[in-house]
């Protein structure tokens, strides 16, 4: 008799009846909420950095915006951010490693120009950026 009881219980667990079903649904629900939450949180985090990876090491403010410089393990990245987003206007950003060629982005944008990045392990970089009539350049930095 006992053996049959175990067999019935095993069949119930396999079919998903009983308490195990609620535990697995709870775990599935928690995992689903983390995945969905991560999908919507990632763009906001990326927008905050302008698409650059690494740590922000320098902010170069000017009248109409600022240039933000980020440094990762082996790359330096820059983005120009307008002080007031909305209307399309000319924006630009460029970054040049010492001894290398400049890499840039320019055009009619509403929020930011860039990101642009260069490989810069143990190299100084020169960063320039502008929004409309305002602009800034860094000189050689991160040496």
Residue 54 sits at the vertex; the CA angle it makes with 51 and 55, to the nearest 5 degrees, is 110
Mean pLDDT, 10 residues at a time, the chain of 143 residues: 49 50 48 44 47 93 96 94 93 96 96 94 94 95 93
Quote the pLDDT of residue 118: 95
Q: Residue ranges of the domains in the chain? A: 2-48, 50-141
Quote the pLDDT of residue 76: 96
Quote the pLDDT of residue 91: 97
Quote the pLDDT of residue 19: 52
> Hey, what CATH class is 50-141 in?
mainly beta
pTM of the entire structure? 0.66
SS3 (DSSP) at 134: strand
Quote the pLDDT of residue 74: 92
């Amino acid at each position: 008799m006992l053996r049959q009881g175990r067999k019935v219980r095993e069949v119930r667990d396999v079919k998903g009846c009983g308490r195990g079903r609620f535990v697995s649904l709870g775990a599935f629900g928690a995992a689903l909420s983390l995945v969905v939450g991560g999908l919507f949180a990632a763009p906001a985090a990326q927008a905050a950095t302008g698409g650059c990876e690494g740590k922000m090491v320098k902010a170069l403010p000017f009248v109409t915006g600022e240039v933000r410089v980020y440094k990762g393990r082996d790359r330096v990245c820059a983005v120009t951010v307008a002080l007031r987003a909305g209307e399309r206007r000319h924006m630009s950003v460029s970054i040049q490693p010492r001894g290398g060629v400049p890499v840039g982005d320019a055009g009619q944008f509403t929020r930011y120009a860039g990101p642009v990045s260069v490989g810069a392990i143990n190299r100084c970089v020169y960063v320039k950026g502008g929004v409309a009539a305002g602009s800034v350049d860094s000189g050689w930095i991160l040496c």
